[in-house]
Amino acid sequence: ETGVTQTPRHLVMGMTNKKSLKCEQHLGHNAMYWYKQSAKKPLELMFVYSLEERVENNSVPSRFSPECPNSSHLFLHLHTLQPEDSALYLCASSQDASSGANVLTFGAGSRLTVL
Partner 1 sequence: GQNIDQPTEMTATEGAIVQINCTYQTSGFNGLFWYQQHAGEAPTFLSYNVLDGLEEKGRFSSFLSRSKGYSYLLLKELQMKDSASYLCAVRDSNYQLIWGAGTKLIIKP
Q: Which is nearer to partner 1, 15 or 113 (CB)?
A: 113
CB of 69 to partner 1, least distance (A): 23
Q: Which is nearer to partner 1, 43 or 60 (CB)?
A: 43
CB of 41 to partner 1, least distance (A): 6
Q: Which is nearer to partner 1, 16 or 39 (CB)?
A: 39
| CA distance between the termini of the chain | 33
**Diameter over CA atoms, the chain:** 41
Backbone dihedral region for residue 55 (phi beyond 0: left; psi -120 to 50: alpha; all else: beta): alpha
CB of 42 to partner 1, least distance (A): 4
Q: Closest Cα to residue 104, out of 112, 95, 30, 54?
A: 95
Residues that bind partner 1 (CB under 8 A): 4, 40-43, 45, 90, 97-109
